[in-house]
Amino acid sequence: MKKFFVITLAAALCLALAMPAMAKVTVGGRVTLDWAYLSQNDELASGGVSAGSAPSSNGFESMYFTAPNTLNRLNAAYSSDDGAIKGFLEFRGGAARESTTTALIYAYIEWQITPNNSITFGRQTTNFARFIPNQWVGTHVTTILGVGFGNVNHTTQRTGIKGYWKISDMFGLVWGLYEAGVVGPSPGLAIATTGVAFLTNPENKLPRVDLALPIRFPWGRIEPSVSFAKAEYDQIPSGDDSYTMWGLSLGGEGSFGMFSFTAEVTWGQNLGGGSYRGGEGDVPVAYRTSPTTPATIADGRSLAWFVDLGFKFGPSKVNVMYGTISYENDEGPASQPTLYKYDQTFYGISWAIGVAKGFTIRPELMFYDYDKDAQFADPSTGSLQTENRGKEWLLGIQFMLVF
């Protein structure tokens, strides 16, 4: 028995020593510090001002030092000796600006079934609306990456299964089945303050479905994609008890010598209900005006686009960007024909300066317009009222080390 134990232990030690030769494990991450100065005008600092009304605030200005939790991260990647099996883990900081908590953002296994087919299991990136502008400062005011200002993206992670089929050197097909994004009580569904409130619990009977068709060229790629999900609720007493989320997107990126571009346009319904960043105003609204009135779910729609032009010289690159997103919800009852209708626009410049290998200093100046002619339904009359939601600008410098 002792001899068997010694032999087993020796075999285990030999296997452990052989592991580095059988597989590859790499560790990486990012360390970031932001200095930022934020300035909001009177209307924005007042939370929006109805037409004809005076702002209650004289504006807001503040300076921040921030270690942006969403940008600081630590990851580990695994690959088998033949590359057929890969794994990836990534931890990032909590959502709060000065949070010391961490969260497991990515945790997935990729299986290369054939040279042209792979499948990925776990918490991973999705394949709808994948492109983003080169804005990096602004996590503390949630303007990062143009969110809500021309950019709709996939919140970087979702749990599910994704497959890739390489059709040719030029074409590929990506499919994904993911958690619908409708989890917990009343998620992705705004409950109107008028009428009689009610509780809702979602029934996720089907996954969210994504499809993308990456098309590669010598200069870059373009990628059309679609996303679809259906949310049902079991505690809406009468009337509507479900809504459909869908999105269509066309994006691309490429480079021509010193010049580069990234651009994307996204059109969708209830994307905010599907937990898409940038879809904050694209959230379906459930309400009823009296205890005997059937509930109504009013769909929200959005159209977003951005363009980012880059110019590289030496160790530096300058990106100039512009984007806008339009929100509208106009499927309420006669008493509330339109719940909201407004636009948000951003533009700015980002200058990445490569100081050393992996170390970048990035000054940025960004401007945001929340719409001076936004329209919202008056709860008492149902008629539209105009509101100036204000503007702000953000000046920052980011120090980032990638290893």
Bridge partners, residue 252, by sequence: 222, 263
Nearest to 401 by CA among 103, 43, 28: 28
Decide which of 214 and 332 is more confident: 214
Residue 5 in any domain: the answer is no
Tokens 């379906």 belong to which residue? 284
For residue 251, is it within any domain? Answer: yes
Residue 3 lies in a domain: no
Higher confidence at residue 115 or residue 380?
Answer: 115
3 state SS of 342: strand
For residue 7, is it within any domain?
no
Contact 72, 100 (CB under 8 A): no
Q: Give the total number of structural domains in the chain.
A: 1
Mean pLDDT of 59-80: 92
In a domain, 126, yes or no: yes
Residue 18: pLDDT band (50, 70, 90) is very low
Better pLDDT: 254 or 298: 254
Query: What is the CA 150 to chain-centroid distance, rounded?
Result: 12
Exposure letters 116-142 (e unless 16+ CB within 10 A, then b): eebebebbbbbbbbbbbbbbbbbbbbe
For 340-351, what is the mean pLDDT? 94
Give the pLDDT mean for 83-107.
Answer: 83
User: 254: pLDDT confidence band, cut at 50, 70 and 90?
Assistant: very high
Residue 13 confidence class, pLDDT cut points 50, 70, 90 = very low
Residue 56 has pLDDT above 80, yes or no: yes
Section 302-313 average pLDDT: 96
pLDDT score at 263? 98
Q: Is 158 part of a structural domain of the chain?
A: yes
Q: What is the extent of the structural domain holding 122?
A: 22-402
Contacts of residue 234, defined as CB under 8 A and 6 or more positions apart, other chains included, come to 200, 201, 202, 203, 241
- Using CB atoms within 10 A of its CB, is residue 162 exposed (0-12), middle (13-18) or buried (19+)? buried
Task: Provide the residue count of the chain.
Answer: 403
Residue 194 has pLDDT above 60, yes or no: no
What are φ and ψ of residue 17, in 5° steps? -70, -25
* pLDDT for res 291: 66
The Cα–Cα gap between 370 and 389 comes to 5
For residue 203, give Cα distances in angstroms to 186, 191, 230: 11, 17, 9
Q: Give pLDDT, residue 183.
A: 42
- Does residue 2 lie within any of the structural domains? no
Q: Does residue 394 belong to any structural domain of this protein?
A: yes
- Here the CATH number for the domain that contains residue 303 is 2.40.160.10
Q: What is the CA radius of gyration of the chain?
A: 24
Looking at every residue in the chain, the average pLDDT score rounds to 85
Residues 6+ apart with CB under 8 A from 356: none
CB within 8 Å of 323: residues ≥ 6 apart: 133, 146, 149, 150, 151, 304, 305, 306, 307, 345, 346, 347
SS3 273: helix
